Amino acid sequence: MKRIWTIVAVFCASSSFLQARRPNVILIMTDQQAAKAVGYAVNTDLRTPAMDRIASHGVSFHNAYCSFPLSGPSRAAMMTGLYAGESGIDRNEIPLPEELRKETLGELVSAAGYDCAYAGKWHVNTISLPAEQAFGFRNLKGNGDEGLAESAVAYLQEEHDAPFFLVVSFTNPHNICEFARGQRTPMADIGPKPRVSDCPKLPANFAVTPFDADVLQFEKRQNYSLYPTQNYSNDDWRQYLHAYYRLVEAVDGEIAKIVDELDRQDYWDNSVIIFTSDHGDGMAAHHWNQKTALYEECANVPAVICLPGGVRAGEITKALFNNGVDLMPSICDWTEAVMPAGRSGKSIRPVLEDSTQGQDFIVTETNFKQTAGSYGWMVRTKRYKYVLYDKGRYREQLYDMEKDRGEMHNLAVQEKYASIVAEHREILREWLEEHPGPERWLHKRFIP
């Protein structure tokens, strides 16, 4: 009998040891931040020391994309592991379907024994979490950047008997929407209006190219509130970029408070720490503000993943990563949470820990239901980016991402790239077959 109790004690001790070895997971998010709007991306028009510090501890993704360049659908993909076409959350203010409410990321990780807490913008329908305890998370603080970092720091300073999953979700640089409309930026002071000579230069891809999808300009004309930049001068656009960068710097200053606490308690040693954004911003490229379009500035997002103990710290990877549908399987992988059936995202953990190549392609969806209702899809392969919109001239786009990251030369209009275009069409056609949704039957007919 004594031997049996010894075996039991050893088993319990080993179980506790395994439990302790599971890492904490800390997810820090911004809103409407493009991949190039960080200092560590060698952007000299702004300073982001806190984000740069995170990047110095982790692996930075050159090819991370949102699953949908709009807040509600993008965040819903993160929390459900489903594309917008599958969940039905294909625009803002759509509530989670009842059958998904118990299968959100917070519920899954909580069921795996983690303490789950959320601070800041939620926006999977409601702008903040709807209750003190919701979707598996304890609600630390609602939407709004003021006091948000402090609430996260207080949580990090608590005693934790179990590993934890903490999400800290900031709103900025989303206030660029208010700036574009001539309104006050409600969550950050960007200072006095500067001289144009002190503003950033216009980007190299500022022009709308001759073979760009003309449906984008059509959609822009439908809603002046969303796109008040239609009559912007070049100087106006430079002022826009200045404001955008100041908003990024403002949120970086808040993130610094959290990074300082990570340093104080050395959470880098026992945690997976993720930094990303829900989508980007047009940033004046192709005369575009806001998001929704499938331009790189809107769909390509910053993403850094820091592994426990600083493994691969400071490295950059070109692996493809969909920070929407791939987030759930990745976090479930690290936390040993059980993934629900029917999710098609891929864990990024093997890419980071085992140096596997990762996915051959990822897909980003979009629609313009806020304006005239056009649809679009992006297939990003290792070298090329294929974009298809459902209507208009030049609705097919193909770009060589090694030579033309600014998307200035639409190769789809050149006969010599016809076979590559056809390959990407087939990828999209098969993807639509494999991801059934309420309107997939409609979408497939738009593929040439």
Give per-residue pLDDT as tens, 43-71: 999 999 999 999 999 999 999 999 999 99
pLDDT tier at 122 (50, 70, 90 boundaries)?
Answer: very high
Residue 340 lies in a domain: yes
Q: Which helix (H) or strand (E) segment is 111 a member of?
A: helix 105-111
Rg (CA), the chain: 22
Residue 8 lies in a domain: no
pLDDT tier at 7 (50, 70, 90 boundaries)?
Answer: very low
The per-residue pLDDT for 301 is: 98
| Structural domain boundaries enclosing 151 | 23-359
pLDDT of residue 3 exceeding 80, the answer is no
pLDDT of residue 74 exceeding 70, the answer is yes
The per-residue pLDDT for 86 is: 93
Nearest-5° angle of CA 59, CA 60, CA 62?
A: 140
User: Could you report the per-residue pLDDT of 197-252, keeping only the tens digit for each?
Assistant: 999 999 999 999 999 999 999 999 999 999 999 999 999 999 999 999 999 999 99
The per-residue pLDDT for 259 is: 98
List CB contacts of 100: < 8 A, sequence separation 6 or more.
80, 82, 87
Give 404-436 as a DSSP string: -TT----GGGSGGGHHHHHHHHHHHHHHHHHS-
Residue 118 lies in a domain: yes
Residue 171 lies in a domain: yes
* Mean pLDDT confidence for 266-286: 98
The structure's pTM equals: 0.94
Number of domains in the chain: 1
Cα–Cα distance for residue pair 295/23, rounded to 1 Å: 35
pLDDT tier at 14 (50, 70, 90 boundaries)?
Answer: very low
The per-residue pLDDT for 96 is: 94
The per-residue pLDDT for 43 is: 96
Residue 130 lies in a domain: yes
The per-residue pLDDT for 441 is: 61
The per-residue pLDDT for 295 is: 98
Cα–Cα distance for residue pair 304/315, rounded to 1 Å: 10
Residue 250 lies in a domain: yes
Residue 38 lies in a domain: yes
Please report, for the domain that includes residue 94, its CATH number: 3.40.720.10
